[in-house]
Chain A
Amino acid sequence: MSVFIDRATRLVVQGITGRDGSFHARQMLEYRTNVVAGVTPGKGGQKFEGKVPVFDTVAEAAAETGANASVIYVPARFAADAVYEAADAGIKLVVCISEGVPVLDMTRVMPYLRERDARLIGPNCPGAISPGRCKVGIIPGSICREGKVGVVSRSGTLTYEIIHQLTRAGMGQSTCIGIGGDPIIGTNFIDCLAAFEADPDTEAIVLIGEIGGTDEQQAAEYAAAHVGKPIVGFIAGQTAPPGRRMGHAGAIISGASGTAAEKIAAFGRAGIGVMKRPADVVPLLKERRVTA
């Protein structure tokens, strides 16, 4: 088992003939992800890599191939519409890798998805991987290993760093999810905590947050009340100056709110093991009797 994606995932790649889309579609195919279709308007009828059918619209792709999940690699200015298109085609899991989607667009996307009972992961995220089973997005398969630790993070390469530390110590992962660094995102920490708690194959959870917003504080409160599995957490940006956007659109301390200190304090109150640095992940999990 795993969360959100597994061997039953039938994936359509939106923007499959683009530079990023084609590169990562190839990587996902190599990882033996079930990529059933691609979409690029005007390129319908082609075959990607000689085997994946390309369609003009997601509606056609879904009708012809039974796709149940989509991943989006289109330029930011087309990304919101790509999400709407996937939802209109009845796709229930949409993963948006594209970076630079205007936040105002996201305020309109979210109610649209809720009305159609569709889940969005991202935007501006690396996607998800259930090691050995399915990869949707850009997380390098080579650093992951099948196992029992669930990883959820607002970051990209920092997530890879921590997955790498886990894998090196023989601690495999059930699913790793990058939820994205934007202020408004489709799937938040609480959604992932709930999914990991319900997943019989996940035994422990690693939560990687950063400065900005209150998602981590709310996740900590939720964890204290609803999650029985051990959690360890990290907050990036302890040395970040207030009022500056640290790369991610959402990584900004506004006034006195969104600091690393308040998030770390919330972790402490909720009994979440606080990592002072990425290398603490393995020792803290071991302290909680999590084994490889």
Chain B
Amino acid sequence: MISSKRNTTKSFNRVRTVLIIGMTAIGLLLTGCAGVNYLRDAQSAFSEAARLENQLRTSSTTATEANDLLLESEIRAGYASAIASIAKLDSAQIASLKSDKLWGVVLTIKALSYWRLGEYDKMEKIAKQAQGIEDQVYPRDRALLLALPGLRRVDEAHAIIAADIRGKDRSEETKIKEERLKTVERLVKNATAILIEARQSVSEEHSVRSYLLQSELGGYKNLLDARNKFRTGGRLNPAEVEEVKQLLTKLDCSFKHFLKEDDLLVARTKVVLAWQVRFGLVNSDFSCRELGPF
């Protein structure tokens, strides 16, 4: 009876020892993941800022100007936080991330954050660094890095439209408007070409296509705004409208590739329709036929 009890106690102690050793080993290994943790922090900060920014841009609810300003500063803080998390990486952690082939992800987040903060030089510098590590850049990030110059041009076009026009007289203002319109047209044209290239770098099934398609549509919306602002009542010409229509159909196809059921329905009824409204194409049907019925 006593012997049996002693044996049981021994077995228990062994198991406990193994568990302690195992946990210690895992803990030690995960301690080497600090760099990945910083990256994850950066990803989280970036995604949250992007979510807020998209909400601010597309929400139908009317917010006050003060709320918008608060939100904007929160968004900028989010992107800055993403960059700050990456900046915490020491050389060992950087080496570890490179060894884990995560360096491309790091650079992509950093470049995207600089883009959103309007620090285009830094954005380009980081994007160039990424070109040197092709083996560490994966399809989504590759497409985004390719798209960045195009995304920048879309932003620049928007900034031109939003800027005040101050000429000494009406004719000078008209001249300024025409010059600005030409600049916007050139920027949007370049942006479109770049975004198409980026889009073509991924398969049709890849979800990043829907983002790139919407970015192209954003460029066209800026072109529409510029025409309307700089030439009262100006709009897209029929060829440009046709291009927008094709983009809308492609957007629908893109959603259809990677979304199912309710998610697809929401994407179509909210996202595609919102773009239709922006371009005055609410009465047209942009359902993706090539992938069969909805």
A and B pair up: no
Q: Which A residues fall within an 8 A CB radius of B?
A: none
Q: Which B residues fall within an 8 A CB radius of A?
A: none
